[in-house]
Amino acid sequence: MKNQKMHIILTETAIELIPKSLEKKPNALSSIKKFGKPGQILDTALHHSIMHTLKNSQKRGRPDILHHFLLDTLGSPANLKGFLEIYFHCSSGLYKVNSEMKCPRDYSRFKGLMCQLIKKGHIPPKQRPYLISRMNLNLRDWIKNNFTEKNTFSLSVNGNKASLETITSKFFNESNECAVLIGGFQKGHFSDDILKISSQIFAISDRGYDSWIIINRVLAKFEQNLNLI
């Protein structure tokens, strides 16, 4: 079996605490009172009526995207067999996910954990090993320190169109490890800062799909190439 490892990064993930500019709004106060810690996470399902004042509001308030990502990647054959490293990047930093983490299926419990994570920088708050921890480097510097341009890839509807077969065949041309960036937001495109990280930007279709669709297609092809499925 090939000695390969994919580092998959959900990038510009739409998860954050309710911004200070909104936290005194009745809608925000009621969600915190009703749900506690889970209600402190900005969520368009709860806070849509007050989010229109936020910059780039279309790329914010979707913690469910991260929830899908963690459930899909942590439970994948690639991860369970040791061929995957999992990360997510958001406004509060770059986070490394322990491959042995059991992501809560319950969405409210998940949001409570993410509230604790953003505030503390790691979960659980005291016990090691951490299930998720904030890294010391920003995404750009971490990529620069660990990967070359030839083994760093971004998937975007604005990228060069290619089949999954073609894209995944390029992942390990440079070495046995690669970094793959996938957007963690509902609408819009990667920011200019993210686009500068990788010159290899690909699209699997002319239209955009939910991030979990792309993630599962990439994982399935990767696992097929490794004869895991």
> Over the stretch 12-41, which tens digit does the pLDDT of each residue have?
999 999 999 998 999 999 999 999 999 999
Assess whether pLDDT exceeds 60 at residue 212.
Answer: yes
Assess whether pLDDT exceeds 60 at residue 79.
Answer: yes
Total number of domains in the chain: 1
Q: Report yes or no on 23 lying in a domain.
A: no
Q: Report yes or no on 194 lying in a domain.
A: yes
Identify which has the larger pLDDT, 23 or 142. Answer: 142
pLDDT attached to residue 208: 85
**In this structure, are residues 95 and 116 in contact, taking their beta carbons and an 8 Å threshold?**
no
Determine the Cα–Cα distance for residues 89 and 40; give it in Å rounded to an integer. Answer: 19
Neighbours of 227 (CB within 10 A): 8
Mean pLDDT of 53-81: 96
pLDDT attached to residue 1: 52
**In this structure, are residues 190 and 156 in contact, taking their beta carbons and an 8 Å threshold?**
yes
Assess whether pLDDT exceeds 90 at residue 229.
Answer: no
Q: Report yes or no on 195 lying in a domain.
A: yes
Q: Report yes or no on 44 lying in a domain.
A: no
Q: Report yes or no on 52 lying in a domain.
A: no
Neighbours of 158 (CB within 10 A): 11
Assess whether pLDDT exceeds 60 at residue 202.
Answer: yes
What's the whole-number average pLDDT of the chain?
Answer: 94
Bridge partners (DSSP) listed for residue 90? 93
Domain region containing 137: 5-14+62-98+132-225
Distance of alpha carbon 210 from the chain centroid: 12
Q: Report yes or no on 147 lying in a domain.
A: yes
Write the CATH number for 144: 3.40.1280.10
Determine the Cα–Cα distance for residues 33 and 39; give it in Å rounded to an integer. Answer: 8
| 92-129 pLDDT per residue, tens | 999 999 999 999 999 999 999 999 999 999 999 888 89
Q: Report yes or no on 212 lying in a domain.
A: yes
Query: Among 182, 214, 177, 216, which Cα is nearest to 75's?
Result: 216
Bridge partners (DSSP) listed for residue 161? 203
**In this structure, are residues 138 and 195 in contact, taking their beta carbons and an 8 Å threshold?**
no
The two tokens of residue 106 are 């319950």
Q: Report yes or no on 54 lying in a domain.
A: no
> Burial letters for 35-54: b for 16+ Cβ neighbours within 10 Å, e otherwise?
bebbbbbbbbebbeebbeeb
